[in-house]
Amino acid sequence: MKHPLIVAAAAAALTLGAMSSQAAVITSSYSSLGGNSWLANLTVTNDGNPTTFAGFTVDFPNATNLALVSSPANWDSLIFQADPSLPDFGYLDSMALGSLLAVGQSVGGFGVSFSLAGGARPGSLPFMLYDANFNPVAAGNTTIAAIPEPATALLAALGLAFVGLRNRRLSVKTRQAAEEVTA
């Protein structure tokens, strides 16, 4: 083979292109409620796959004390606690009562509070989508939404302000030196 790098790149591109798509993407973001308690905010987006879904289930592995904090209008949401005598997670189950999500449409406002033992931090959550007859149509893991921290933006603004102030002082000193030379 003359060009193994090109062949490897083509194989990687074909592999990535062959990944299956889901009927929806569920993103999750987390807020600490103090101690070992957390709040999960979930948003469901129909990513354009022709598979329609009427509801979804999101598992909360290793979580206890699940409580439904919020649910959007026209969605029937229920929380099921983990059963310690069974190897089953607690989960959120939600079904659309009205029209289904159109392609590209999102609905947020699914809020679930929960506890994690041992200082654990929440991560990606497994989910399943189902149709109006409760037949599974897709499954996956939530995507954790990146939330920029205010400290980063503040540090960037302070850095730019410092550079601007420094340049201003240098230009004032240069101007004063030029005036002394010409005087």
Cα 113 to chain centroid distance, Å, stands at 16
Q: What are the angstrom distances between the C-alpha of 53 and each of 37, 62, 79, 143?
A: 31, 27, 19, 18
CATH code reported for the domain at 21-144: 2.60.40.2230
Boundaries of every domain in the chain: 21-144, 150-183
Please report, in tens digits, the pLDDT of each residue of the chain (183 residues total): 555 555 545 544 444 443 344 557 899 999 999 989 999 999 998 887 666 788 999 999 989 999 999 999 999 999 999 888 888 889 999 999 988 877 888 899 999 999 998 878 898 999 999 888 899 988 899 988 765 555 565 566 666 666 666 777 767 677 776 677 676
Its pTM stands at: 0.66
